[in-house]
Amino acid sequence: MNNRPLEEEKQAKWCCKRCTFENWPKSLNCTICCAPKHSSLIIPEDEQDIYKIAPLIVTKEPSSESKNSINNKWVCEMCTYLNWPKSTKCTQCLTQRKRLSPSRSSSPNSSPSSSPFLKESSVVECNAAKHSSQTSTSLSSPSDDYHNDRNRSVSLSSMIKWSCQACTYENWPKSTKCVICLTPKPKGECAGQISAESYSEERRTSTPSPPGAQGASTKRVSNNEITLLNNNKNKEFAELGAASAQHQTNNYLEEKRLRKLRKKVRETDWLWLTACCGVVNGNIEPVLQYLANGGDPSRQLTTSDVSLLARPSAFDVGHTLVHLAIRFQRNDVLALLLANSSPPVAKRVPSDVSRETSSEVRRHFSNCLRQRKGDFPCFFVFEFVIFALPAEIEDLAPSVQARLFDELLDRDVQKELEEESPIINWSLELTETLSSRLYALWNRSTGDCLLDSALQATWGIFDKDNVLRKALADSLSEASQILFPRFKEAETLHPNLLHFTLDEDQWEEDWAVILSLATQPGSALEQFHIFTLAHILRRPIIVYGVKYVKSFRGETLGYAGFEGIYLPLLWEPSFCWKSPIALGYTRGHFSALVPIEPESVDARIGASAPNLRNNDDSDVCYLPLITSEHKLLPLHFLSRNELGREDEIMRQWLDCCVTEGGILVAKQKIGKRPLPVAQMLDDWLNFYRNITPTSTTLSHSSAAHDYSSDGDSD
């Protein structure tokens, strides 16, 4: 036994065909590139024909004198690997060594000079003996097991693969990342690796089975399949899982297969596939994610989609999400899909009809901004403008009016503020008698929706140049010595009610967050930004919004806190206008609420309401200062001295009055439009004036792509 390593060292090294490195004879893989040892190097050149050596193996046991010779190693019937004489199992495929009976070994017909028929029968017997030996008990001695385990540890040390935790692909030991999904290799020596027992079991199941046993061998874990995972934490709900295929000796073909698999991963629409799986599993969240990213509910499954999903019993070619929802009786998903089945309407707002005119309006607004000198260096506008829809809309045909409102308004916001919870237009006296119905204009769904809605309610444009955002950021930064004490005092009132206080570092950190949000375009703004906007616009801002923020499923997520009245309390009352603007808030989105310009005040108000008459030339609309439950809207950012005097402060900063029905309202005076705004509205209205009622339906689809705003409605 001690002379065996010396004899092996005398043998010639084998050369790797990939990197030409010379390896030791017992190395099964190349030390440099891990390429497997070529099959022609395993068996000597004079013994490569298995049919020549099979009778010798079957009929003759090696003698004790030649055990130390390498030519007396026994050849595995399955993989032709040369094993040591005392090994009871094949080191490569763990196939049991065939034990010959004395009568068979002494048979004269088992000589090397037997006929070809005898050679073929001996090979078949070797294959059959492998499967019969799996169920038989082992007859090895402790010394045989020692040599067998030693050879196995040497051969499997470089063959044990590690399994990816994300897609379960079996990678080579030197791979630091998964070749399929690029997931890093788990830390630890044994993390994700295949044990010797599982490796041997896989090798046994991967060997060819005899006739009659193919049904059991086809159910293998290593068949290619696709697994779709929903990750609730990071919302990465599309990952590919591919089980490892059998080991291929041709590395070029293996790399080519992996490249094709990676390309298929990149080109696959995982939002669409996870939405299909979500319908089958009853999970509505992937469907919502698919629709929110502009997915088509009428999209059909293709052959490649069905093969990737790997569930023929659930998915068929040509099926849509609606088909799957009906098939698996997902009523909630079906209702959602039917609600989104109608094609989206292209939005046509006045600022996008005439680009040159809207650019002139933005330049005009930028020239109206000034910064006040003194202790409170806040920016402000010096021109009074209120945006209202032209009264000529009511002269259009009903079909043309319906199309105009579909392309101008945000129907979802209008429905949520009117029907789901009575927040606006809840009084017939205001909507019918006083013609003060509010309409929610469509707005971009970016993080600038607050600034866009404020400019829409005043000038009818979007803040595409970030002029208003820059004025807001500069006002907060340069006038922080006045704004920060007001913010701190107002925000301290609520913690005091809960009997806890914040330290100065926490207040400084919160104020830094407010300044940072104002300087970043696309960042969502908070309540104090609305309070600062009221000072820039020099008028009150009334926000009609939902009280609670809800999810897509209708679950309450938290308190909104945006509804209320924001007054420019840091200015002098004589420096500001008492005519407010109205904004709507629905689940993280702001919209401008504007009325239709009234034709005449005297035509709307009779002699029974003399207190509502207006003495100037401007038209008036009426905004309620109470909720549908007749509760006063909250006033934000009041100081301790102003608490308890809400009614007095409201009448000081707003032109208030009470209707015959006892509703406290604020007068919104609509003055003469600036010339660029009037020209922009006239160009926008001319498009609908030229549409005849008979051609409304025909021209709707063709004109839907003429004008489009950037962004979609929430």
Instruction: For residue 662, give every residue at least 6 positions away whose Cβ sits within 8 Å of its Cβ, in sequence order, or none.
Output: 630
Amino acid at 600: S
In the annotation, is 449 catalytic?
yes
Q: Reply yes or no on domain 268-339 having CATH 1.25.40.560.
A: yes
For 316, 332, 337, 601, the CA distances from 279, given in Å and listed in that order, are 14, 10, 11, 55
pLDDT digits (tens, 9 = 90+) for 627-664: 999 999 999 999 888 988 999 999 999 999 999 999 99
Question: In the structure, what pLDDT confidence band is assigned to residue 344 with cuts at 50, 70 and 90?
Answer: low
Please pick, among 76, 178, 181, 449, the residue that the annotation labels catalytic: 449
Contact 133, 98 (CB under 8 A): yes
Question: Is 187 a residue whose pLDDT tops 70?
Answer: yes
Per-residue pLDDT, 474: 96
Question: Is 576 a residue whose pLDDT tops 90?
Answer: yes
Contact 382, 389 (CB under 8 A): no
> Of the candidates 235, 165, 144, 153, which has an alpha carbon nearest to the alpha carbon of residue 196?
153
Q: How many Å apart are CA 12 and CA 164, to the nearest integer?
A: 38
Contact 669, 540 (CB under 8 A): no
Per-residue pLDDT, 242: 41
> Of the candidates 62, 135, 60, which has an alpha carbon nearest to the alpha carbon of residue 96?
135
Output the CATH code of domain 366-705: 3.90.70.80
Q: Count other C-beta atoms under 10 Å from residue 428's C-beta.
A: 10
Q: Count other C-beta atoms under 10 Å from residue 658's C-beta.
A: 12
Q: How many Å apart are CA 362 and CA 544, to the nearest integer?
A: 26
Per-residue pLDDT, 341: 53
Per-residue pLDDT, 165: 83
Per-residue pLDDT, 38: 67
Return the domain boundaries, the chain: 1-41, 43-156, 160-207+221-267, 268-339, 366-705
- CB burial of residue 49 (10 Å; 0-12, 13-18, 19+): exposed
The full DSSP string for 50-88 is HHHHHHHHHH-PPPSTTTTSGGGPEEPTTT--EE-TT-S
Q: How many Å apart are CA 58 and CA 110, to the nearest integer?
A: 8
Strand spans (E) along 331-448: 369-371, 379-381, 439-440
Model's pTM, two decimal places? 0.54
Contact 57, 267 (CB under 8 A): no
Question: In the structure, what pLDDT confidence band is assigned to residue 609 with cuts at 50, 70 and 90?
Answer: very low
Signed CA dihedral, 418, 424, 428, 433: sign only: negative
Q: Which residues of 102-135 are buried (b: 16+ CB within 10 A; e: fewer)?
A: eeeeeeeebeeebeeebbeebbeebeebbbebee
Question: Is 712 a residue whose pLDDT tops 60?
Answer: no
> Of the candidates 36, 531, 496, which has an alpha carbon nearest to the alpha carbon of residue 251?
36
Question: Is 389 a residue whose pLDDT tops 50?
Answer: yes
Question: Hey, what CATH class is 1-41 in?
Answer: few secondary structures
Length of the chain as a residue count: 714
Q: By mean pLDDT, which of 17-21, 184-188, 607-611 is the weakest?
A: 607-611
The radius of gyration computed from the CA coordinates of the chain, to the nearest angstrom, equals: 41
Using the 8-state DSSP alphabet, how is residue 110 labeled?
G
**Residue spans of alpha helices (H) in 157-250:** 196-206, 214-217
Q: How many Å apart are CA 648 and CA 667, to the nearest integer?
A: 16
Tell me what the pLDDT averaged over the chain comes to. Answer: 75
Q: How many Å apart are CA 458 and CA 359, to the nearest integer?
A: 15
Per-residue pLDDT, 457: 96
> Of the candidates 254, 195, 209, which has an alpha carbon nearest to the alpha carbon of residue 34?
254
Please pick, among 147, 589, 621, 636, the residue that the annotation labels catalytic: 589
pLDDT digits (tens, 9 = 90+) for 290-343: 887 777 788 888 887 888 888 888 888 888 888 888 888 888 888 888 776 555
Contact 171, 162 (CB under 8 A): yes
In the annotation, is 90 catalytic?
no
Mean pLDDT across the stretch 42-70? 45
Per-residue pLDDT, 599: 66
